[in-house]
Amino acid sequence: MLVVVEVEKCVVSGWSSPSGNAQFKVDKNGVVSILSSEDSDNEIVLGRATQVVKEGQLGVKFTTAIEEDGKEINTVTATFASPQELKVFVAACSGSDFHNSRDASSVAEYFKYYAHLSQQQNMMQDSVRTSLYRDAILKNFPDFKDKVVLDVGAGSGLLSFFAAQAGARKVYAVEASNMADCARSLVEANNQSDVIEVIKGKLEEIVLPEKVDAIVSEPLGIMLVNERMLESYVHARKWLKDDGKMFPTNSTMFVCPFSDSSLYMETYQRTSFWQTPYFHGIDLTSLHEESMKECFGQPCVEQINPTCLVGQPVAKLFDYLTMDEAEFYEIEIPFSYQFEEPQEIHGFASWFDNDFCGSRETITLSTSPFSPVTHWYQVRLLLQTPVLLQPNEEMKGVLRMTINRIQSYDVVVEVETDKGLTSSTRINLKEPNFRFGYAFNPTQTS
């Protein structure tokens, strides 16, 4: 996407534009050019903008380089005509695909949802989540004491307060929803305004005045990646110093087959209405297959009994210190199983662990069915057709997750046995079936 923004004043390595006489053009690759309003054909290509930092209310400072030879490096300072022009410029230079890969209405609904205090309360009252985040930060206080911290998607500002309690010199709490106003109120009411600065805006569009020593965030969704906030979290590394910390540091997604005929039959029964051949004179059966796709296409979010799990889970590591945003666009987890006893596989369960690797301790927040329950619970993905396995029969397949424009993922599970039996399912991660009435106490299982 090409953008052009008005510049009140810019200085490029000693050359100064006449006041009000220039524009910045930014192409889809983040390459910046200067256009003169006096001569629209006069374009000076500066190169890709890096190290963009804020100077004053409407100003930025950044460096550019012509990538072909990397020799022509410029230092640029600019003052923009308005806050909107500044925001558009920063977003264009960010290299993020945030706006192009998301539906605008979905983004608006997402931020509206998290602007409710009730949703913040739901997360804050998850005692496992909150206590482990606090432990990770306070037990690793040397990573925060007298340091500069960035809180990505700060919400109510809870993690920013924890960073301040650990001795942070400055915390930038970035929150795009209207919850930013509530966070600012809490900061003022708790006399933390000298440490915590709430910045209302999308991470991809804001500018900080300095690099940070640590990034904290709670960017985790159902099945780890739902809501697609992890892309913004790794994008935030552009503000992180080379030796900086990220809390969480990495996550591991687990996938494991399960056998649960009760869940399968419960789901199948939800489709039985559409098998009615005579409903007030109407044959409904032509819609039964579509009903099967809809019901079996919902991920079951619940606290599962681990006794339903069959075999050992396979794991997929997400290293936030090294991953690029594009690595989240399509995720593949291959698997292969062989059992000594006959098995009936009804689907695949998933959960995730998160490691906070500090200089003193590594703290792990687990959503495993063997751990205390969190508000993420676990997820089960049902196959439309169960897979019957004979002893020593091999089952291979893949779980594939692809981003969609509604800030979620389309999930496909494909299975094939060495005898040629196949089964698959397509899951809409955005439309979960919350089965909270089936709570299981993991402490009852040895």
- Catalogue the active-site residues: 126, 218, 227, 375
What are the residues whose beta carbons fall under 8 Å from the beta carbon of 428, sequence distance 6 or more? Answer: 297, 298, 299, 408, 410, 411
Of 144, 212, 200, the C-alpha closest to 173 is 200
Pairing of strands 433-434, 300-302: parallel
Residue 230 three-state SS: helix
Give DSSP secondary structure letters for 101-153. TS-HHHHHHHHHHTTSHHHHHHHHT-HHHHHHHHHHHHTTGGGTTT-EEEEET
Of 432, 391, 176, 184, the C-alpha closest to 298 is 432
Residue 98 and residue 202: Cα distance in Å, rounded? Answer: 10
Amino acid at 348: F
First-last CA distance in the chain: 56
Q: Which two tokens stand for residue 14?
A: 């000693």
319, 320, 323, 324 alpha-carbon torsion, rounded to 10°: 160
Residue 92 and residue 101: Cα distance in Å, rounded? Answer: 14
Q: Which two tokens stand for residue 340?
A: 């000594």
Residue 223 and residue 232: Cα distance in Å, rounded? Answer: 17
Instruction: Quote the DSSP letter at residue 18.
Output: P
Dihedral (CA of 258, 260, 266, 269) sign: positive
Residue 36 and residue 51: Cα distance in Å, rounded? Answer: 24
Q: How many CA atoms lie within 13 A of 18 on its CB side?
A: 6
